[in-house]
A and B are shown apart, each in its own frame.
Chain A
Amino acid sequence: MLSELKRSVLHNCASDTYRSPIGAVPAGSEVLLRVRVRSSQVLSVSLVLFNDKELREVSMAAEGDWYAITVTLPDTVGVLWYYFRLHCYGEVWHYGAAAEGCSLFGEVYHDRPPAFQLTVYTPSLQTPQWFRDSVLYQIFPDRFAPGHPDTVARGLAYHQALGRQPRLHQQWSEQVEYLPQPGERYYSPNDFFGGTLDSIRQRLPYLHSLGVGVIYLNPIFEADSNHRYNTADYLRIDPILGTEADFCRLCAEARRYEIRIILDGVFSHTGSDSVYFNKEGRYPQPGAYQGQHSPYWNWYEFYDFPERYNCWWGFASLPAVRKEEPSWQDFVITGAHSVIRHWLRCGASGFRLDVADEIPDDVLCLIRQVVKEEQPDGLVLGEVWEDATSKHSYGVPRQYALGESLDSVMNYPLRNAVVDFLTGRMDGRQLTGFLLRQRLNYPAPIYYALMNLLSSHDIERIRTALSVRLDARELSCEQQAYFRVHPEQDARGQLLQRLAVALVYSLPGVPAIYYGDEQGMQGFLDPFNRAPFVEGETALVEEYQLWAQLRKQYPALRSGAAAFLPVHGDVCCVLRFDTQGEALLSVVNRSRFSVRCVVDLYYEGAGLTAAEYTALRDRSYTKAACLLNTYQADIQDGLLLLELPAQSASLLLLS
């Protein structure tokens, strides 16, 4: 029975034949779902459609081999799930999503199967065009470029006056600190290298040469650490970095290079050593730690005043705020001179919201409203580590990517998939399936704005991940400090990094460079991934520049439709195609051997809509010419036979 059913039931949620339209859909629209059944064992088929609140089963209409139903989606956003129930003689079977694989066909199951995802989002959702067209550059401000010694000295003096003990490295080239100070138990990130806003400003021409359109600055507000995630004062630029005037000047000058600035909004918690909590008593006004008379008393939640309070992941230095507290909301978000409004008015173009999981959906929604009020094309980007469409936090399905909340998220799942593919933990077909699922699960406006990063201040650098191929989290801090990447490993890492860049720059979404990656910097986890910027490999920098140039030159790479074509276990192949007829095929061969394979441009169920397939066929491309080298291939009826050199990336322009 199973073997017959297995071969005779078909639904592919990536193909218009089975689901029209494919992908995420606006609320209130209609979706036609079809199943093909070629077995006389099946008497009828019903659709089981559910979310976390309710489950509906409706029978489907038979027409020949097909069963079909048109589902009118609710007006409310949210993710729906569905599978099919096959009613046979005296038995019930199911057809649901397949666990893995490069295609989105399902499988027959006896019991309740994994479901197909159907994302329903706000019809009016728009994300900033400028952002979708950008390359992003993330800067850890203390480490990007050495600032003027006077600025740094003034800043250090400021902190010292408050009683803090910042330490300044003597040389930009020194190693980062990771050991506790004598007499202390833990390393405290108080060692500074002395980067400033002004030194960033002076590097704008360099960033411009990389094709950067937006800089994401890690926190820049006053705080007692080099990373500044323990905010002390939301309204003051950390004096080591400079002044508010420096910030305004940075934003203004960046605009001249068509570069925007976004800030790290660390709103889930503050520092304990802050104007608001004031645990160390460094600020004259009473903080919550001083008692109920503090204006900030209501921001925090004390379990046992004053020493036990709610804090982020149990770090006493990071007391969590109560996001539902009106005075906090007023101060940070909604007030006429709120933190968010203030910095947007100074020239910022949006915020990256730290630990979005900790911020309730309604507060995210409020933040979005205020940002868009200030700047209709302001950006709200969230730190979410998983698929933001189906993420649950604290047992609640989150609304991050449904239209009322974020414009974009940090695409860590992509980074992991790319690393897994390039290091052999995942094959080309699995990667293709992963990419296709992202395409189908995210609403298009968000999909094209995803922050496609390869490294960040929270994970090991891409170069290191690809060079050493081991999980940095398995290493102790000491091991990381003493690990020496062998030149051979580094050379391999360099090769693979080029492939990673090729992939990320050819996908929909915003390619994101973590400062120094383009120079080939190595670095394990925090704090090793935050080393001072050094110049390294010119060739690699040029490669980043070339890719940015290509993205600029070929709109299809930014805004074109994407198809993910399963080709070969060692190959990832992405077709970008726009209605103007521009088509590019990006192909990455990770193997240490050359690969001969055939790409079928017309392979259905790879991410294009029926209309896009028709347009593609209508173009009848006959030639493919590589934009990176002189390679050329003929296309016959949508088929290209490719000879891919070992560990190579190609970007083929079709004509």
Chain B
Amino acid sequence: MDIEKIKENITTKLKRLFGCTMENASLDQIYKAVGMCVRDEIMDKWVDARAAADEQGLKYLYYLSAEFLMGRALSNNMINLGEYQAYQQALAELGIDMGEIEEQESDAGLGNGGLGRLAACFMDSLATMDLPAVGCGIRYEFGLFRQRILDGEQVEVPDNWIEKGYVWEIERTDERYEVHFDGEIEELWTEQGLKIIYKNYHTVYAVPYDMPIVGYKSQMLSTLRLWSARAASRLDLSYFNRGEYVHAMAEKELSELISKVLYPENNHEQGKQLRLKQFYFLASATVQSILHNHKEKYGDLHTLPEHVVIQINDTHPTLAIPEMMRLLMDENGFGWDEAWDIVSRIFNYTNHTIMKEALESWSEPMFKSLLPRIYRIIQVINEKFCAQMWQVYPGDWERISEMSIIAYDEIRMANLCVAVCNRVNGVSQLHSNILKTRTFRNYYVAMPDKFLGITNGITQRRWLACANPQLSRLLCQTIGEGWLQDYNQLDNLLPYSEDAGFREDFARIKHENKQRLARFLYATQGEVLDPYSIIDVQAKRLHEYKRQLLKVIHILSLYNRIINGDMPDGPPVSFLFAAKAAPGYTKAKNIIRLINSVAELINRDARINGRIKVIFLENYSVSAAEKLIPAANISEQISTAGREASGTGNMKFMLNGALTLGTMDGANVEIYQRVGAENMFIFGAQVEELDRIELFNNYRPGEIFEKNALLRDALSMLINGQLRSTSSNQFSEIYQSLLFGDYDRPDKYYVLYDFDSYDKCFFTVLNAYEQQDAWQRSAIVNTAKAGYFSSDRTIEEYNRHIWHLRPLA
């Protein structure tokens, strides 16, 4: 669109929406006006695209996920429409800084971490590749909490992202569905067969909010459909008339609680009723709308598998499976086998975790009372599945109960998924192998064709084009714009690693990104970051297996080295942490406290003299990541081998030219395969080594502690009072659990085991950094080789192996 037209549209919008002009509009109003202009363009395309897809009878993917970590939409949408520069210029001519406008948008944080962000990247890739797709999730009123650090501690503040109104969503009050909870079922044998009567249930309405997702210069748009809960009766007038206003509102409150808050990821937390309600709410509303749309378009549900494929992102939306069985049988007259055939062809499951404690299960009595009909259906699925497994493992009830969906008063969602779904995938090659050989071993042996591995990916549009505009521009100048749509073309960058001029440009942009980050940190939390220092970043959810603790203990050892004069000369290093801890995860919050205490100790100690600095970046979110990642030199991916399913942060850093310091875990393994040992720093025990240790149960962290003075001195600081803490035993608990264990074995995540290896590797990295030429060469190789980790490649694989969607012609 031409610049004049854009300017005119914006001023018109300002007038019509807010009754103001450019001169007296607030930044928020200008943002909204700009957003609405962009939205208008999108709406036109959206309507056309859906009509065209229906006309061509295209199959749709429904991507079910309890989380969508979308981040901001404005600039991404402009980029994908190919109009970023035009808008930027138009705004500039209106005297407005694009950056300031971007900052007005609230960051839709409807997710905890990688899983939700993956869903968001997928929506972007699907649209870009013209594949018809609908993402289905919950419109949490409050996304993941905003994190504040007060006196070194994490404080959670609710994040009401829609409070000010959200430009990108469209409420569809015309299409709402009833979702039923509680009550009882009656099975009645009639002449037409078994009839299920469900009564005394409690109804909640599900109202969809649709959000168009624009692909890069493509025709098809994806739809993100988020469900919001509404009370069946907004106000109970019988109470109201009696003057009992609290009661009158109670039902509304209770019902609408369902879509109120995103649950923080917490692997320790046991199933909660509200969480189960949320998931059933999502499942039921989604499946109802799928069936409704299909009937409208094609009339008969028997053709459903030709037009619909469903991907379940982790087990949260699993209840869509029994819910579809229920709807087909109870409301559409299907027989069991008929319904089963359809369901088992439509559903596919992506597993995201191999940690047993994180495999979701619900207490049987709670489930039964909340969802009596769904419970009954799962029971039957289970019986049939166990009978099938008996053919494979005759008489082996031990094994069969391990595999069964209901056992020992628990309903296991992952087992339900594996038993029913057409395909089950892991998210990196290592993770898939662990799924096959360990987590789902018995299933894999019985049904090998179900299992496959598809390595996660990230969209280069957001994580390079949008997050790192300068590098993006350099790339476009150097190898053209093709890489935005065709990830393979990033490879063309490879020869430029030998081009001194290019290396210089590349390094300069990195430095400018550091400066940008420094400005951001100073503006948001008053931290001073030296842009000339090495930026060493660990940014990810806080979890013991991700081992922020290893990093912070190592920093303590560096501190001791400097104090003792043992630190070799070299450039200053800034250690940046960015992490949210689940509010109920005490140990994780203690680690945040520890990081901040260490920062305080080091940053204030004059003897350190800027040699190292520790900064905790508050409220890590998509938009913060967009500032942080392009500035990083070192990407810390140091999880205990075998614990991280894939990781996607590792890919984002790589794409932006950071070098990885990591373990052979998750997708790190595949990064290693692509960039090679000379462009990556690998340390620590591998999966097989840890397996053997666990097999023989011979890990003795105490012995390592005794032998390694550096480590011993660092650990001692946890208990010698040098570090400021809120309560006296805050850090001694960490110390205890590393050396003696809490209730189980000590140092479950092998922090001490890998310490020495990490230490050596860290100094290798520092030395490497001093060879700037070689370092820049490696950084360019990392960016060039990151094409494989584009979510476009990931989606290609899903489509080839699972979905079989045809793109819009």
A636 near B433: Cβ-Cβ < 8 Å: yes
Q: Which residues of A contact B395 (CB under 8 A)?
A: 10, 12, 98, 101, 103-107
B436 near A101: Cβ-Cβ < 8 Å: no
* B401: Cβ under 8 A from any A Cβ: yes
Minimum CB distance partner of B448 in chain A:
A598
Of B260-268, B412-420, B438-446, B762-770, which stretch is located at the interface?
B438-446
* A638: Cβ under 8 A from any B Cβ: yes
B449 near A596: Cβ-Cβ < 8 Å: yes
* A492: Cβ under 8 A from any B Cβ: no
B397 near A636: Cβ-Cβ < 8 Å: no
Docked complex Cα distance between A605 and B393 (Å): 11
Docked complex Cα distance between A7 and B402 (Å): 12
Contacting B at CB under 8 A, from A616-651, are 617, 620, 636-639, 641
A636 near B445: Cβ-Cβ < 8 Å: no
Contacting A at CB under 8 A, from B233-289, are none
* B338: Cβ under 8 A from any A Cβ: no
Q: State the majority secondary structure of interface residues on B.
A: helix
Q: Which residues of A contact B335 (CB under 8 A)?
A: none
Q: Which residues of A contact B398 (CB under 8 A)?
A: 10, 36
Indicate whether A105 sits within 8 Å of B433 (C-beta atoms), given known contacts A598-B448, A600-B445: no
Indicate whether A639 sits within 8 Å of B436 (C-beta atoms), given known contacts A596-B448, A600-B441: yes
* A450: Cβ under 8 A from any B Cβ: no
* B396: Cβ under 8 A from any A Cβ: yes
Contacting B at CB under 8 A, from A570-629, are 596-600, 603, 605, 617, 620
B437 near A105: Cβ-Cβ < 8 Å: no
* A102: Cβ under 8 A from any B Cβ: yes
Docked complex Cα distance between A16 and B292 (Å): 56
Q: Which residues of B contact A620 (CB under 8 A)?
A: 688
Q: Which residues of B contact A211 (CB under 8 A)?
A: none
| Nearest CB of chain A from residue B559's CB, rounded to whole Å | 41
Cβ 8 A contact of B444, one of A6, A36, A598:
A598
| Nearest CB of chain B from residue A566's CB, rounded to whole Å | 7
* A243: Cβ under 8 A from any B Cβ: no
| Nearest CB of chain B from residue A419's CB, rounded to whole Å | 23
Docked complex Cα distance between A102 and B391 (Å): 9
Indicate whether A636 sits within 8 Å of B437 (C-beta atoms), given known contacts A10-B397, A102-B394, A103-B395: yes
Contacting A at CB under 8 A, from B440-464, are 441, 444-445, 448-449
* A41: Cβ under 8 A from any B Cβ: no
Contacting A at CB under 8 A, from B385-430, are 392-398, 400-401
Docked complex Cα distance between A107 and B394 (Å): 9
Q: Which of under 10, 10 to 19, 20 to 34, or 35 or more describes the interface residues of B?
A: 20 to 34
Docked complex Cα distance between A620 and B687 (Å): 13
On chain A, the number of residues with a Cβ less than 8 Å from chain B's Cβ atoms is 30
Docked complex Cα distance between A612 and B400 (Å): 25
Q: Which residues of A contact B397 (CB under 8 A)?
A: 6-8, 10, 105
Minimum CB distance partner of A638 in chain B:
B437
A637 near B438: Cβ-Cβ < 8 Å: yes
Residue-by-residue, is B548-571 near A (CB-CB < 8 Å gives 1, otherwise 0)?
A: 000000000000000000000000
Docked complex Cα distance between A598 and B445 (Å): 5
Minimum CB distance partner of B395 in chain A:
A105
Contacting A at CB under 8 A, from B283-303, are none
Docked complex Cα distance between A510 and B315 (Å): 53
Q: Which residues of A contact B448 (CB under 8 A)?
A: 596-598, 641
Cβ 8 A contact of A637, one of B393, B396, B400, B437:
B437
Q: Which residues of B contact A104 (CB under 8 A)?
A: 395
Contacting B at CB under 8 A, from A97-144, are 98, 101-107
Indicate whether A103 sits within 8 Å of B444 (C-beta atoms), given known contacts A636-B433, A637-B437, A638-B437: no
Contacting B at CB under 8 A, from A419-447, are 429
Docked complex Cα distance between A639 and B392 (Å): 16
B436 near A105: Cβ-Cβ < 8 Å: no
Q: Which residues of B contact A605 (CB under 8 A)?
A: 396
Docked complex Cα distance between A133 and B433 (Å): 40
Q: Which residues of B contact A641 (CB under 8 A)?
A: 448
Q: Which residues of A contact B449 (CB under 8 A)?
A: 596
The interface centre, meaning the residue of B392, B400, B401, B438 with most chain A CB atoms within 10 A of its CB, is B392
A639 near B401: Cβ-Cβ < 8 Å: no
The interface centre, meaning the residue of B396, B433, B691 with most chain A CB atoms within 10 A of its CB, is B396
Docked complex Cα distance between A106 and B398 (Å): 13
Q: Which residues of A contact B436 (CB under 8 A)?
A: 636, 639
Q: Which residues of B contact A7 (CB under 8 A)?
A: 397, 400-401
Cβ 8 A contact of A566, one of B392, B401, B441, B695:
B392
A639 near B394: Cβ-Cβ < 8 Å: no
Q: Could you list some 12 contacts between A and B, CB below 8 A? A: A10-B397, A105-B394, A429-B394, A596-B448, A598-B448, A603-B445, A620-B688, A636-B433, A637-B438, A639-B437, A639-B441, A639-B445
* Partner-A contacts on B (CB < 8 A): 392-398, 400-401, 433, 436-438, 441, 444-445, 448-449, 688, 691, 695
